[in-house]
Amino acid sequence: MSRLNHLDALEAEAIHIMREVVAEAERPVMLYSVGKDSAVMLHVARKAFYPAPPPFPLLHVDTTWKFQAMYQLRDRAAAAAGMELIVHRNPEAEAQGINPFDHGSRHTDLWKTEGLKQALDLHRFDAAFGGARRDEEKSRAKERIFSFRSATHRWDPKAQRPELWRLYNARKAKGESIRVFPLSNWTELDIWQYILREGFEIVPLYFAAPRPTVERDGLILMVDDDRFRLVPGETPVERTIRFRTLGCYPLTGAVESRAATLPEVIQEMLLTTTSERQGRAIDKDAGAGMEQKKQEGYF
């Protein structure tokens, strides 16, 4: 009998976590942001419950500012999985015209944090799968796989439950909910190696190609549609770029790269010395770091 390799072991752990949540939770849901981690999580979920579709819906908290390629893959992937896709947009943010150019951190707070809380409350979801990994950021590194949130969706990092021997206690107090991270123990390299092995579709923005860009505050930004505001005298320049992480396009920096295939991306990963989230403008908001955002309800 052959031993599991490290990708098999990570996949088996994620499947165990998903099945545990489905057995214990009343109304689970899977957060689907359309990024590479979400794609891996969805693929593992389909394997976990095959031949039936996963017994929970997909939830996309839409900011209206994602890359166009992400929206195209979102609908296609949900249909292929045979899963219900719930798209939630914060009506308050929509009414106020909140956008990444004029409103700074309020854009993330209202569209993402408040939007997520609204969606969970509206549909009465008590457990939500997310694709966050411990190697991404220091506040995520100390968060448990089963991350309990109060009735107001707040996270208390000092009140986390032990998870010894991969035993998970899913019992909740009234009003509590759980954010569940099946990919916690994966690394960015694991994600890419798994995508290469399994061969499922991901957003093409992860692969290098000539794209229209501008450079601002040390970030290379892609001009994805006509809503992008150019400053006087600014002209988009074509660069060969790819993205290591994806979010709202005016807030997500690209890297100059020639890695146009999965093996080339993995080779580049083996040589890089920078964090994948260095291109996320929201992580540079000194007034509200990731841990504070998470305490307020951000995923």
CATH at residue 184 = 3.40.50.620
CA 139 to chain centre: 15
Token output for 280: 């996320």
Number of domains in the chain: 2
Task: Confirm whether pTM is higher than 0.75.
Answer: yes
Question: How sure is the predictor about 214, in pLDDT bands with cuts at 50, 70 and 90?
Answer: very high
Residues 232 and 122 in one domain: no
Note whether residue 69 is domain-resident. yes
Residue 106 contacts residue 63 (beta carbons within 8 Å): no
pLDDT number for residue 161: 86
Cα gap 34→129, rounded to integer Å: 13
pLDDT number for residue 285: 54
Residues 96 and 234 in one domain: no
Residues 155 and 79 in one domain: yes
More confident residue, 49 or 158: 49
Note whether residue 194 is domain-resident. no
Residues 181 and 228 in one domain: no
- CA distance to 185, 220, 278, 286, 292, per residue, from 249 (Å): 27, 11, 14, 20, 23
Token output for 102: 């004029």
Query: Average pLDDT over the chain, rounded to whole?
Result: 91
Note whether residue 260 is domain-resident. yes
Residues 180 and 211 in one domain: no
Q: Which residues have a Cβ under 8 Å from the Cβ of 16 and sit 6 or more positions away?
A: 166
**What's the average model confidence in pLDDT over 21-40?**
97
- CA distance to 123, 205, 268, per residue, from 254 (Å): 35, 9, 14
Max Cα distance, the chain (Å): 66
pLDDT number for residue 128: 97
Note whether residue 195 is domain-resident. no
Question: How sure is the predictor about 156, in pLDDT bands with cuts at 50, 70 and 90?
Answer: confident
Residues 248 and 274 in one domain: yes
Give the domain extent around 99. Answer: 6-189+288-295
Note whether residue 198 is domain-resident. no
Residues 97 and 228 in one domain: no
**What's the average model confidence in pLDDT over 23-32?**
97
